[in-house]
Every structure is written in structure tokens, then in C-alpha cells.
Amino acid sequence: MIQESYAITGGNYKNAGFASNLLKTRLKRVGIEPEVLRKIMIAAYEAEMNVVIHADRGTMRVALDDGYLDMEVKDEGPGIPDIGLAMKEGYSTAPETARDMGFGAGMGLPNIKRNSDFFRIESAVGKGTCIRATIQLRPHGRQAPHKNSISVREDLCSGCLSCVRACPTGAVRVHSKRPEILAHRCIDCTACIETCTSGAIQAGSRRFFPSRAERGTVVVPLSVLAQFGESMSPRLLIRYLKEEGFSRVLTETGYKDALKKEILSTVRRKKDTMPVISPVCPAVVNLVETRFPSLIPDLAPYMSPIDALVFSTPQRPLLCIVPCPAQLTLLRSRYDESEVIVVAVDVLYDTVGKGQPSFGQKGHAGRKRPDEENGKKNGPSRQAEKEPMHDPNGILVVSGMKDVVDILERMENGCLRDVPAVEPYACRYGCFGSPLLRENPAFAIYRAGSLEYDSAANAAAIRKTAPYTARQGIRLHPNLSEAVLLLGKIDDVLRTLPGKDCGLCGAPGCDALAEDIVLGRAQVTDCVHFGGNQEKNP
Amino acid sequence: MNVKQLAVHIGARIYSGPGKSRDIKSVYAGDRISELLSAASDDTLLVTNLIHPQLFRIAQLMEVPGICLLNGVSVEKQMVDLAVQNGTCVLVSYEGMYETCGRIWGCLLKEESS
């Protein structure tokens, strides 16, 4: 445990930042990861400058313990009359002199909050302000928040709150028209993107195509191949990609069939009567790990088809064009960016057909031989591809997050014992229905049926080496005793809330709002019933 | 592209130290300390109208490879020395923010496509 204390003098712009700098030198010696150090430095500098700009004097106390850094910046100054307002980006009370120097952008407190894992501010007008921030030192550790690929554009949000209701794990919050996705809860399914009409929720992607030199083998799932409906059949798209410099175009269909076979043989081997859950959709695997941990033993321990394909393709660098955030996250977390480049499907929409006048002609040329394309179709999963909602082997195929949650809930209650296996997809119509895709899913499935794919001889279901584990929620505070205290506070706040779980505050339920209030994400006044309540119980 | 090459390409005066060969992967232009701070990293060039000791303080904190000042301003030798000691190069462009950023953009784009 290291403890440091630094004095800060208000109004002294010349030596401002000195405490942060001393802290940095100390922390560097401890050997903290650069990315974490960056976060600490931003928080420390902003907190220090707040004292310099607004207060007479203050102290920065830092405690470094195993796994986390606690920072407390306390000052003697005017205090903050309205903390909610002060936390708003762009709001500042800095004097003109400070603004001339580039301060007073109203980003200080939000910057500290954004860069810390735990943040609390207390202030008394006329006395002073105290900021506490905690930053985890090992963000990649077990307790670390999960990375996800869904991002938010606040400026587009219309505040309709439908995403809050749609999220199966309660990961979305919309407080004052500002959607926030709690990474430790997000499972990268597409429920929120699907329901969002304003386009504020998107899947983050590297939006450019690799340069010609980087192009080697490319993995394009069938659902993506079938996106260019009338102008380009899947087969033509493959030809186009080859002309564009990709040496091989691979698709996951063979691996999907292999996985299905393996699931069926798992069913035969399985002793109890619970259905086997196919890991075909990584978002559903995340869902089980997060919300249905009791079903983890029923998840078949195999890689998802895309994962297996990437795993068994030795070529590097490998470009993967994926249709959904779950696959984006899965592949990005597993492989280094220099080896496997994972992009969302939007790059293809941006590239294919743009500045390609010869394209339409090619499309026509392709359509001249539909007989040839439709002639030999006896691939094993052809039937399944055409009608993804029906499976001849008695597997229950369920798609769409709502229905998947319903089926998993029933399984958890011990029902569905006569079903041998469940194949759940987060998106309706399976991967074809991902909201990142633009083509009508039914038509895309129809198109995909025309592709004569190579049911690669080496395609096989690959066993997962790491077992599934229940996803740990994030601790309220890295320090256990603090976390217990916070838990008590959350209960106290919850008792004052109406308990209607109406969701109008932007949190999915009253318990979620109580947690948000205690963790500083929301205020009691966000509750629409708050005023009425007060009148009744003065 | 490293700091020195970039300075040559955009025609800026350069006060360089050991940091002149460090690579620049991103550029951020702005006149507010908070924004510069949250954008700064060890491969970011900051472009700004500010000339203030605090600018050099954040450069030191975030180990920024270079700061580009604008309109051919003159900087106190003391400040430059401090920055250079900490491994940050100081560039002074003779153009305003718009023109300078345009030139930098052109350079980096050319490099990316080559």
C-alpha cells in the first residue's frame, strides 16, 4: 500500500499540474500499464485544475492498493450549489481569466468520471468540495468490465427509451437523453440496435477496407454474401472480392453443418433430459453466461461456426467481415488486430458498387445463368438455410431476443424436456436478420440458397478449450467493505422509490435506478413519481 | 510519419529534442485544455492556439511527441526548453489553424495511401 499526499494552491497557474506530475513519476516506478496511467493522469490533472481554478487550497491524497488506486481531492473553496448541473458537459463557472488560458470548457468533472471506474462528488456551499475517484489498475483482469462493440451517438438519441425496455440484460440507461451502455452487462446482442429508430445505437467498426497489400484471405459469412440481392448474387460477390485482390473467400456454412452434426451426437450422448443449447450465436452464449448461469452445463462446448472457421484457417492476416456486434467482439477479443482484422458489414456497403460502373453489367451476366446456379443444390443444410425456422432433425430453432429469453426461462424452470436441442439466434431469421444488414432477411435467405458452396472437407466442429463461466457482474467498488456500504445505500434509496418499475426514468427498473443514483449515474429527481411521493410522505 | 518529417512537410519551424523521431499516428486540434488532455496520447500531435505553461504540462503528463503552435508565434525559450527536455518537440507553423490542419491532413493521407 502506497499513500501519497500533495498540497495544491488555488490560483497558482504557474505550478499547477505539479502534483499530477509528481504522482506520475511515482506511478511509473510502480510499473502501471500505460493505458491505465493515462486514465489516472487525466483524472488527476482535471481534479487538480479544479482546485487551482475554483478554490483557495486543497489536497490530493492517493492510495495505491493491490488492484486499484483511490484518489481523493479535497478543497476549501466556494463549493458547488448544483452538482447535477456541474456534472453536465459544457457547463462551467470558471472565471474569464481561466477561460483565456483554455480552461473552463466544462469538461473537467465529466472527464474525471469517464476515466474512473468509481466516482463520487460531495460539496457543501461555502465550505468546499471533495472528489473521490477509483481506478482499476488491471483492466484486463477477471473483474474487468467486458469490452463490447455497441456504441452510442448521444446527439442522435430521441429519448424514446425503447432500448431500455428491449435490452435483455438491463444494460442500457438513458438519463437526460444520454444513452449509456453498461459494458459489464452488455452481451452484444442486437436488441437495442434493432429497436432504435433514431440511429443513436450503432455497432462500432473500423470503417475502412484494408489496402491492397493487406488483402489475402477473407472470411465472409453467408448472411453477408447474400446482401447484394438483385445486382449481385453471392457467387458474383465472391468473384468480385477475388478481382479486388483477395486470394480466397471463405464462408462458414460447412462449419455450421459440422456444428449441427456434433450437437445431434451430443444429444445422443447426454444423460439427462435437458435440451442441449447450440453455441451457434455468440450473443446467446453471452446471454446464458450473464443471465442464465444455471444453463451453462447445457451449452454444448463448441466454438461458434465463424470462430471455428477463423481458428482452422492458418492464413494471416485474415480479414473477417461480420454481420453483428457479438461476432465482432468475439473475434476481436480472441485475436490480435494485426493477425485477424475484423470489420462490420458496413464496409462492404461502402465499398461494393461504389465507383464500379461495370458492376451492374456483371450482375446481368450472372443472372443469365440461373439454371446453372440453381441446378445442383444438394448441400446438406440447404433445406435448413432456406427455412431457418424449421429443422428436420427435431432441433428447436428460436430467433429474436425476446423469444430466446422466453425459451431459456422455460428451460430454467425445467420445462421443454422433450426437446432434444435448442438452436437460439439473437436476431430474427438467424444471422440474416441482424440489424446491421440492409437486405430483407427473407430475400437474403432466398438468395443464399442459390450459392453452391464448398462444403469444405476439413470443416469440423471445434471443441472449446476454455470452459464457459458465469459472467461476473462488476463489483460496486473494488474495495469489498466499501462495496457492502454502497449496497446498503442502494437498499435505502430503493425503499424511497415507488417500486412501479415503469422505466420512465431511463433505467429498466427501480432497483437499477437506485444503483444508478448511488453510483452517481442518475439523480432521485429522474424518477417521474418522485414529486408525488414527496407530497404523500412529507 | 515522425515529428521531424511532418514539420518539414508542413513548413513549420521546429524546436526539437530527442523526441523528433517519434511517430505520429493521430492529430488533435483544439483550444481547450480539457479536450487536448483527453485526446492526448504518446502518438498524438496537438495543434493549438494556446501558448501557456499548462499546455506544456499536459504534454509532459501525457508524453505527447509534439505540439504544433500556430500563426508563427514566438515562444519563450524557457518553455521550449522544458518541453524539449521532456521529449516533446515544439513546432511553430506560420499559418493559422485551418491551413495548418489542412496541410497535416494532406501529409498523413499521402502516407497512408502510399
Cα–Cα distance for residue pair B70/B12, rounded to 1 Å: 9
C-alpha cell at A291: 443471465
Q: Which structural domain range is residue A76 located in?
A: 2-136
CB pairs under 8 A between A and B: 63
| Lookup result for grid cell 430475400 | A443
Q: Do B52 and A101 touch (CB under 8 A)?
A: yes
Tally of CB atoms within 10 A around A142: 7
Cα–Cα distance for residue pair A537/A535, rounded to 1 Å: 6
Whether residue A533 is predicted with pLDDT greater than 80 in this model: the reply is no
On whether the CB atoms of residues B65 and B89 are closer than 8 A, the answer is yes
Domains in chain A, number:
4
Q: Please indicate, yes or no, whether residues A122 and A196 belong to a single structural domain of this protein.
A: no
Q: At A389, is the pLDDT very low, low, confident or very high (cuts 50, 70, 90)? A: low
Q: Do A20 and B33 touch (CB under 8 A)?
A: no
Q: How large is the average pLDDT for residues A369-394?
A: 46
Strand partners, A151: A202
pLDDT in tens, B36-58: 999 998 889 999 998 888 888 89
Q: Do B33 and A49 touch (CB under 8 A)?
A: yes
Q: Give this complex's ipTM.
A: 0.84
Whether residue B76 is predicted with pLDDT greater than 80 in this model: the reply is yes
Cis-peptide, bond into residue A317, ω within 30° of zero: yes
How far is A105 from chain B, CA to nearest CA, in Å? 6
Q: Please indicate, yes or no, whether residues A192 and A110 belong to a single structural domain of this protein.
A: no
- Going by C-alpha positions, the residue among A334, A286, A284 that lies closest to residue A309 is A334
Q: Is B79 on the interface with A (CB under 8 A)?
A: no
Q: Which of A14, A36, A48, A107 would best serve as a mutation to test chain B binding (most B beta carbons within 10 A)? A: A107
Identify whether A63 is part of a domain: yes
E strand or H helix at A8, and its extent?
A: strand A2-9
Q: Which homologous superfamily does the CATH classification assign to the domain defined by B3-103?
A: HprK N-terminal domain-like (3.40.1390.20)
| Lookup result for grid cell 495543434 | B47
Task: Write down the pTM of the prediction.
Answer: 0.59
Report the percentage of chain A scoring pLDDT > 90. Answer: 20
Torsion, CA B40, CA B41, CA B44, CA B45, rounded to 10: 50
Q: Please indicate, yes or no, whether residues A420 and A492 belong to a single structural domain of this protein.
A: no
Q: Checking phi first, is residue B29 left (phi over 0); if not, alpha (psi -120 to 50) or beta?
A: beta
pLDDT in tens, A248-285: 888 888 888 889 989 999 888 887 888 999 999 999 99
Identify whether A460 is part of a domain: no
Which residue has better confidence, A469 or A395?
A: A395
Identify whether A384 is part of a domain: yes
- Give burial (CB, 10 Å; 0-12/13-18/19+) of A314: exposed
Whether residue A424 is predicted with pLDDT greater than 90 in this model: the reply is yes
Query: Measuring CA to CA, how many Å separate A342 from each of A210, A244, A333?
Result: 11, 18, 10
For chain B, positions 46-65, list CB contacts with chain A under 8 A.
48, 50, 52-55, 57-58, 60-62
- Alpha helices by DSSP H, A196-252: 222-225, 234-243
Q: Do B37 and A101 touch (CB under 8 A)?
A: no
Whether residue A475 is predicted with pLDDT greater than 70 in this model: the reply is no
Where are the domains positioned within chain B?
3-103
How far is B65 from chain A, CA to nearest CA, in Å? 15
Instruction: Return phi, psi of residue A148, to 5°.
Output: -140, 170
Q: At A56, which CATH number?
A: 3.30.565.10
- The three-state secondary structure class of A244 is coil
Residue of chain A whose Cα is closest to the Cα of B31 = A102
